[in-house]
Amino acid sequence: MTITGLGYLGVQTPDPSVWTSFGPEVLGLTVSGVGDDGSVYLRLDERSHRLSIHPGTESRLAYAGWEVACESDLDAMILRLDQAGVSWRPGTATECAERKVERFVRFEDPAGLPQEIFYGAAVSYAPISPGRPMSKGFVTGSQGLGHLVFMVPDARAANEFYANVLGFQLSDIVDTVIQTPGYFYHCNSRHHSLGVIEAPHHAGLHHLMLELDELNDVGTAYDIVRKREHPMSMTLGRHSTDEMVSFYFVTPAGFEIEYGWGGRQVNDETWHVVRAEQGELWGHELVGTGLPPTVRLVSTPVAAQ
């Protein structure tokens, strides 16, 4: 009766149409459809789509979709929301059809970030046709879509919500390069499906991590990102905790992609939480200009004394 993984991600941005080329040609995704409103739906495995890019006046997180196994598990999660006093609403029939799931509920985390819990995703049997050479595919299956990292104004409130209400298991705590601790959680064998990093007065989606089954596919994307001059935010490197070899760059929808290989898996029977004094084994030099546009100011910063 717990969340089993990250199922899907929806973002909004002024020009989704660029994703019909960016998704396949840079990320190696497959366009599974374009909606009447211009929304672009992208596929990377057997699911009909896992990434939805919707039109909107600004770039921001539209929803994060967390998966449970079945309807009774969804009802059990609703009970937990009710017991914690979290308001939620059911997804409409139109919204369920758009996400291609049987049923979901929608609510906000303590930072106001829109979250959804669903069951019953549609599976496609159409062939996958990435728009660039791919030697292998993405690591998904029981590990879900990948991981999300949110910037939140209050990491303690986020921890209370994600660990104690939604039931995520803490993997470890990391002293990050931006001097505030990050909390990383698992809900399947992937080292983390969710990370929260405190950024005073800010809230939003920092990045989506996509894991490749072959290191060369990360290298191919690295060359393409450099050649096309997409803004890189972290150079190639390896994280200390999940051991992912990855690099980060900013997408046309304002959030970052961590594109990686070699992520560690956890076993709850033997796992111990640790606090890592550094997040990187090597590389991952910050080269960007700061927080991605999807991380928005949520209150006026207190003036420096």
Chain positions contacting Fe ion, by CB under 5 A: 209, 258
Give the span between the Cα atoms of 37 and 281, in whole angstroms.
44
Smallest separation (angstroms) from Fe ion to the CB of 209 = 4
In the complex, the smallest distance separating the C-beta of residue 123 from Fe ion, rounded to whole angstroms, is 27
Please compute, for residue 251, the number of CA atoms within 13 A of its CA located in the half-sphere on the CB side: 36
Does an H or E element contain 181, and which?
strand 181-186
Residue 265 C-beta: closest distance to Fe ion, Å: 15
Smallest gap from residue 83 Cβ to Fe ion (A):
31
Contact 239, 249 (CB under 8 A): no
Residue 116 or 258 having the CB closest to Fe ion: 258
> What is the nearest approach in angstroms of Fe ion to the Cβ of residue 160?
22
The count of C-alpha atoms lying within 13 angstroms of the C-alpha of 29, restricted to the half-sphere facing its C-beta, is 27
Could you tell me if 55 and 12 are in contact, meaning their C-beta atoms sit under 8 angstroms apart? yes
Q: Which is closer to Fe ion, CB of 16 or CB of 195? A: 195
Antiparallel, parallel or unpaired: β 232-239 and 181-186: unpaired
Q: Judged by CB, which is closer to Fe ion: 18, or 215?
A: 215
Q: Which is nearer to Fe ion, 174 or 209 (CB)?
A: 209
CB-wise, 86 or 151, nearer to Fe ion? 151
CB of 36 to Fe ion, least distance (A): 34
What tokens does 196 get? Answer: 């929260």
Instruction: Considering the complex, state which of residue 104 and residue 249 has its C-beta at the smaller distance from Fe ion.
Output: 249
Beta strand 5-13 with 169-175: parallel, antiparallel or unpaired?
unpaired
Give the span between the Cα atoms of 58 and 12, in whole angstroms.
7
- Give me Rg for the CA atoms of the chain: 18
Nearer to Fe ion, 105 or 245 (CB): 245
First to last CA, the chain: 48
Phi, psi of 163 (to 5 degrees): -80, -50
Distance of closest approach, residue 284 Cβ to Fe ion, in angstroms:
10
CA distance 90 to 75: 11
Question: Three-state SS for 193?
Answer: coil
Pull the structure tokens for residue 122. Answer: 């549609």
